[in-house]
Amino acid sequence: MSRSDTPSAGKSGAPGFVPGGHQIDSYGNGGFRFAGMSHQGSVIAMPTGIQSWLPSKAEQINVASLTPVIVEISKLDMLIVGTGEKALPPNSPFAQAIRNQGLAVEVMDTPAAARTYNVLFAEGRRVAAALLAI
C-alpha cells in the first residue's frame, strides 16, 4: 500500500488490516486493489476485513498460514485459496486439514480465485479468500 493508503491496524491487530467486507477490484503486478487502496503482496479477504498474508509462494501455504481464517471459521461457509499462476491439487494437505475442521475449501489459481470470491461475495455468501499475489 502506498503511505497514504495504509490503514491503521484493525481489531485483528494485523498490520494492513482493512475492516469490513470488500471485493477485489483488481490483481496483478505483485498485489491487489480493494477498498480504494493498493496492496503489494498476498492477502486474506474475509467478511470481517482484508489483511496482509505472508505466503508469497504456493509451497508456503499451510494450516499455520491460514490461522486468520481458522479464527473466523464459525462465521464462514467457504474458503477459496488462490495459489498463484497455477492451482495446487484440491487435496493439498492444508486444504484437507481445513476441510477436517468443517469448512468447504476450493483451491484454484489466483485469477480464478479472485473472480470466484467476488461472485460469492456479491451474492452475500460467507466466503473468505486467501490469495497469493501474482
* Residue that the C-alpha cell 464459525 belongs to: 74
Q: How far apart are CA 53 and CA 69, in angstroms?
A: 11
Which pLDDT band, with edges at 50, 70 and 90, does 12 fall under? very low
* Residue that the C-alpha cell 479468500 belongs to: 129
Q: What is the mean pLDDT of residues 3-18?
A: 46
Average pLDDT, the chain: 90
- The domains of the chain are located at 14-131
The pLDDT assigned to 15 comes to: 55
pTM to 2 decimal places: 0.88
According to the CATH classification, is domain 14-131 in 3.40.1230.10? yes
Q: What is the mean pLDDT of residues 59-82?
A: 97
